[in-house]
Structure 1
Amino acid sequence: MFKSLLRIGEITGSGSSTKLPIVKVRTKGEGLLCFVVFDNAEKKVYVEKEKLGEDDEEKYAFIDDAKGQKPQDRLTTKHLEYILGFKEGGEKVKGNKFALEVVRDKLKGGKTRQLLDEVLSWYPSEAEVDIKDDDWECTLYTVRVKTKDGKAIDLATLDDYRRSLTDYGETVKGKCQFCGSDQVLADPAYPGGKMLKVFITDKKGFLSQFGDVVQSHTICPSCKYKLEMGLNYVESKLTTNIGKLNVSIVPDLPPDADAGKLSVIEVSREGYILKGLEQLVRGERDAEEVLQEMVADVRLDLVFGESQQNKFKLWRVIPEVGVPRLVRVVKLMNSAKSKVDVTPDGGKLGLGDVSFNTLYGVLPVRDVGGKVDPKVFLEFLEAILLGNPVDKNYVYSSFLSVIRCKRYDTCTNSLTSFTLEDLVLYQEIFIYVMKELGIMEANTSQAPDQVVKDVSSYADSLGLKGGLKGLFLLGVLTAHVGRAQYNKGDQKKAILDKIDFEGMDYDDVVAYANRLMESLRDYKLLNSYTELLYSEALSLIKSNRGDLSDTQSNVFHILLGYSYQTKVFILSKAQKEEE
């Protein structure tokens, strides 16, 4: 991954010795750019404001604030106190956070040093400071100096200052582990809260072959610059969200790649990782077009994590994901949806598009007090994208835990916003995908495409047979009873309470089938159709007892039949009301 970041940095940082790893500021609505004016003639300090422009971060060299205890050696900041040297209540900031002095001391000469020397000759001791309450509410601040002849100079635009932002400090004899240079940084000092902090940990005495530098990571100034430029590009252009997780996409580009090839890699904002996959789902492009434009041999490292103050919280890296694999998975999700989202009369159940956001929503992601535990989701996603086998029992156990929390209204995953019925149907889509990929179990049960004429042929179209099909049909009958109970005012549908959401073995299923028959009789639902369905279900279950070995799979397939038939009932009612 480091080589990938270096290559991206070479591409994006070429052509300018002072190109910087600019950070874009995220704002809700319009932002304000505030110039903190130091007037040398009047010895006054005040703020001038204007609307934050689209390219102002670049113009005024905003590379984010120094994290943690690192010196604030930058004059464009999100915090006014770093420029003034004191907080809103008057308390002084720590010496290494007073940017004017830190930058002045860092520079050995030049125009910026000269201007800061003049300002600090009278500020703060002799200054008249006119800072209003709303001056503390700007989006971005930068330093403007007015000379005694009235000329306004924005220090962040000066070449010597901008060059200082890529001055990484003292070098010593060693060996850069990337390019082999014999001069390396004594302290790489990567920015806090950045991805590089996770992957590079210095340990004194850890390795000895790097010459005078006794640490595990050695890098020259040039390679560090490229790494930071590459990381900046990834963070600004190739970072998106899946569910509530940040994911950065680091492409491993071929040697002949240029800015044009890099620019075609665009991220999806709708949970598909790549924008080209959105277009594939919407039918705007076919798979061949996506693969051709995306450069099919490019591999992607998916880095899930987020900045937390001075640290970077890493959840998982899914390495070397191929674009063809992504295309195949998305096509399978579409195919599975088309099989699940169909009614016996040729209509649609009304399921929405299926993305990796959907996968996030149907899995047990614990989200309490802003702290997210995405372990299960990332395990599923990694298995799907890399082809790792996943235990069938683990799949049903994970899905059933979400069904339980949905039934009892205890889910903490904010993306589990589906109805119970839709939740189970979406889960079935991903089960179908995992079976087709061959990672859940041997792919021997999938049936060819066929016209869905009734619930039995619908089960066949999903590859359900034997005891699993029998369980599905029991679920269909459960929906009949549930509808009758709902129509009588029981919105929770008491029949569902007869299902043990923790799991049901063969004997439990047979006992439930007997209770279900009683309910069908009590609600006067027995007729030639339901009796035939019940008979087929029981026959399939009893003659294929071995298919019911997984207690949680049993419950899932009953609920799958229930969810499907309930959706059909809901749609049928809606159509009648429209008529």
Structure 2
Amino acid sequence: MLEGIVQIGRALLENKSLIDNLIKELPTTDKKGNPYHVLKLKFSEENLELDVSEEMDSDTVKKYLYIGTADGPNSPQWYASNHKITYFLSETLFNLTNIDFGEPLNQKLKHIFEKFYIDLGSDIKSKYRYALDLSYLDPNVNVRKLYEEYSEQNKGDNKEFLKVLEKEFEKILIKNYGTKLSEFGLFVIYIDGEPLSKYEEYKQKVLKYKSSSKKRKTSSKKENRKDLRCNICGSTENLTDDLKKMKIKYYTNDKITFASELDKNKFYKNMVICQNCLNAILAAETYLDNKLKTKLGDLDLYIFPHFIYGEPLDKSELDLVVDKIINSYNIVKNLKSVKEFEEKIFGITDENRYFLVNFMFFKKSQQATKIRRFIKDVPLFIFNKIAGASKNAREIVEKAIQMNYETYIDLQKIYYLIPVKINAREVTEYKYILDFYENLLTFKPIEKETLIGKFIEAAKVIYLQKNGYNIKKDSLEFYILNSNMLVKFLEKMGNLKGGNTLDTSKLNVKEDIKNYISTMGYDEQQSAMFLLGVLIGEIGNSQYKKYNSDKKPILNKLNFNGIDKSKIIKLANEVFAKLEQEKIRKYHEKTYADMKRLLDENLENWKLNKNENLFYILSGYSYATIKTIMKGETENE
């Protein structure tokens, strides 16, 4: 993992300094395309002014040296540019006065802090103790009075007072400038007409803070000689095991069971790196956020190359490789057509360079990044393989239903076919979905029984309209059809094996039903359940017409927790009775007869479990329903 990241960092540092490579990108426009602005807090010896005139562009973050926030959730925030105003209203100036920038900058910062900030009380944490005196922007605003009123109602919770300050600050913006906080993409501090980020003293402190770590002290020459080498390059110079500067948590350093010899003082043996490799990792982590961060459903993801030979010489070569990887990924993530893929896919290898692709699923936790799953060494042809399998799976489904079908299986579609519990767009149960993607991308087998169990779980979510899942609850019929398409996709990818297909020449059902069974490759038991589902679908179609309602009472006969073998005979008899009741038995006698024959012949040696029984019943129901829906749409046209 780290080897690929260090390769990226070395290429970045080839032509640019570390501090240039730490600059983070920010969006320059809102979702509607309106440009964001820069809000400047201009401090001078006697005055505080706001400047809201500058529009953001791609160079803004570099101009104001935007590098995000200070490392760690409890670290003092002192950077002079931020994408939120919060820190500037409270702690930033105070923290700046605790850093030695040399004279005269120290005196300027001290004067500004003492003049323009109010001390709310020594009993308050320094993080929330100070507040910008907004009376310099609007004489009618009394911050101390605001705090007194707030503290009477919220004793001991000073953090929330920042929201009060923000609201008052925004009122000033609206009143005096006709603008809101949401219209700004960056906030910066000016000192005497110049951005603080342009002061050389400030730049040097930022660089020292970001790159310096505590050097590893050795207890003996023997330890130094034997143990202490950079885990990445093997160097013995400038070593450190203080890796808190790194944003991504690559290894465990807080559980005693991971320490060497179960000694809390020997975590350093897990990882020791030199300053050069640390700098490369810091540069690469920023690059990951700027260029290689994406999403798959609600999952956050980094995709980055690992060069086996022919490492990139500089950033321009790296950018070229990365752009091609991300472009290929984005197409198979949301595949509109294979033609689009074929037209836009790039050749991403050459004779002088070969690399594999790593997928790192992660979660941002406060200011740290925890790795959820690392899928390494994925071959480059995976993108072509996915596009080809998706094309084949779609063609199979179109042939099966004998109609055009515009849906493709892609990486994003898969996410919404496998149920995942979510809370406020945050995935809370992700093991199976990550296992699935890992097996898919590395061509490992996927357990079909477990997958079908997930399909049934999703069907239950749709039918019962359950909340807290990633499943779209609009159409059970099309969900089941797409699930069948996913099965065919996985067979084409090599993750699933196909079974023995039923010889449909022995069936007496309609030709379109025979075609579906043979095209989808159902065996005898699967076909029996499919035919039972077709009959349920036809009863549902009759009930839909009768009641002019989406509710179909026949579906109440299905247990969405699964249908075991003992319940199949009972369900078959109930379906026969419903065919009589709806007066449509004469139209479907052959279908029922074939279903019953296949059922009787296989019942003693039944292999399908309760979820598989229900899945193939729902597949038949889906087929009968969708054929009716599409037939109606064609007639309307």
Residue from 409, 428, 431 that aligns with 1:375: 431
Judge which range, 497-506 or 173-182, deviates more. 173-182
Whether 1:337 and 2:333 are equivalent positions in the alignment is no
Shift of 1:364: 1.7
Partner of 1:175: 229
Partner of 1:123: 112
After superposition, the Cα gap between the structure-2 partners of 1:430 and 1:446, relative to the gap in structure 1 and judged at 3 Å, is: farther
Residues 445 and 465 in structure 1, CA contact (< 8 A), matched pair in contact too = yes
Residue from 394, 416, 436 that aligns with 1:361: 416
After superposition, the Cα gap between the structure-2 partners of 1:420 and 1:269, relative to the gap in structure 1 and judged at 3 Å, is: farther
Shift of 1:495: 1.0
Q: Which residue identity does 2:25 align to in structure 1?
A: K
Take 1:395 and 1:6, find their aligned partners in 2: how far apart are those partners?
A: 37
Residue from 130, 138, 144 that aligns with 2:190: 144
Judge which range, 15-24 or 403-412, deviates more. 15-24
Residue from 159, 184, 187 that aligns with 2:239: 184
Q: Which residue identity does 1:122 align to in structure 2?
A: H
SS at match of 1:283: helix
Alignment of 1:24-173 (within 5 A): 24-26=25-27, 28=31, 29-40=34-45, 43-49=46-52, 50-66=54-70, 67-80=72-85, 82-83=87-88, 86-87=89-90, 93=91, 98-102=94-98, 104-105=99-100, 107=101, 113-126=102-115, 130-131=136-137, 133-134=169-170, 137=181, 138-146=184-192, 152-167=193-208, 168-169=211-212, 172=215
Alignment of 1:261-272 (within 5 A): 262-266=319-323
SS at match of 2:381: helix
Shift of 1:427: 1.0
Deviations 1:245-287 (A, max 9, x none): 11111221243242335434348999x8444776794413439
Take 1:431 and 1:262, find their aligned partners in 2: how far apart are those partners?
A: 36
Shift of 1:223: 1.5
Take 1:221 and 1:280, find their aligned partners in 2: how far apart are those partners?
A: 46
SS at match of 2:477: helix
Q: Which residue identity does 1:46 align to in structure 2?
A: E
Deviations 1:417-463 (A, max 9, x none): 441011111111122233344444x4344799xxx951211111011
Partner of 1:513: 572
Whether 1:428 and 2:471 are equivalent positions in the alignment is no
Query: By percentage of residues, which structure has more helix?
Result: 2
Runs of 4+ displaced beyond 6 Å: 202-205, 267-270
Q: Which residue identity does 1:390 align to in structure 2?
A: I
Take 2:512 and 2:38, find their aligned partners in 1: how far apart are those partners?
A: 64
Take 2:241 and 2:137, find their aligned partners in 1: how far apart are those partners?
A: 41
Whether 1:387 and 2:443 are equivalent positions in the alignment is yes
Shift of 1:238: 1.3
Q: Which residue identity does 2:385 align to in structure 1?
A: R
Partner of 2:130: none
Q: Which residue identity does 1:481 align to in structure 2?
A: I
Take 1:280 and 1:520, find their aligned partners in 2: how far apart are those partners?
A: 41
SS at match of 1:22: coil
Take 1:414 and 1:225, find their aligned partners in 2: how far apart are those partners?
A: 39
Alignment TM-score, normalising by the size of structure 1 = 0.84
Take 2:451 and 2:335, find their aligned partners in 1: how far apart are those partners?
A: 29
Shift of 1:484: 0.5
Whether 1:245 and 2:246 are equivalent positions in the alignment is no
Give the count of matched residue pairs: 542
Partner of 2:7: 7
Whether 1:400 and 2:400 are equivalent positions in the alignment is no
Partner of 1:302: 359
Shift of 1:403: 0.5
Shift of 1:411: 4.1
After superposition, the Cα gap between the structure-2 partners of 1:322 and 1:418, relative to the gap in structure 1 and judged at 3 Å, is: farther
Residue from 561, 585, 598 that aligns with 1:502: 561
**CA RMSD of the aligned region, Å?**
3.3
Residue from 197, 204, 225 that aligns with 2:249: 197
Deviations 1:100-153 (A, max 9, x none): 224x42x4xxxxx4452241352233459624523593432222222xxxxx32
Take 2:635 and 2:336, find their aligned partners in 1: how far apart are those partners?
A: 35
Take 1:325 and 1:543, find their aligned partners in 2: how far apart are those partners?
A: 42
Take 1:212 and 1:555, find their aligned partners in 2: how far apart are those partners?
A: 55
Deviations 1:180-239 (A, max 9, x none): 141124633225xx3x2243637899459xx99955322222211211111211222111
Take 1:338 and 1:115, find their aligned partners in 2: how far apart are those partners?
A: 73
- Give the % identical residues: 20
Shift of 1:552: 1.0
Q: Which residue identity does 2:51 align to in structure 1?
A: E
After superposition, the Cα gap between the structure-2 partners of 1:127 and 1:563, relative to the gap in structure 1 and judged at 3 Å, is: closer
Alignment TM-score, normalising by the size of structure 2 = 0.77
Residues 74 and 99 in structure 1, CA contact (< 8 A), matched pair in contact too = no
Partner of 1:110: none
Take 1:497 and 1:127, find their aligned partners in 2: how far apart are those partners?
A: 69
Q: Which residue identity does 2:480 align to in structure 1?
A: V
Q: Which residue identity does 1:217 align to in structure 2?
A: M
Deviations 1:16-58 (A, max 9, x none): 2242322223555532312222224xx2222222222232112
SS at match of 2:339: coil
Take 1:390 and 1:269, find their aligned partners in 2: how far apart are those partners?
A: 26
Partner of 2:275: 221
Q: Which residue identity does 1:541 align to in structure 2?
A: L
Judge which range, 294-303 or 335-344, deviates more. 294-303
Partner of 1:316: 373
Residue from 390, 407, 413 that aligns with 1:352: 407
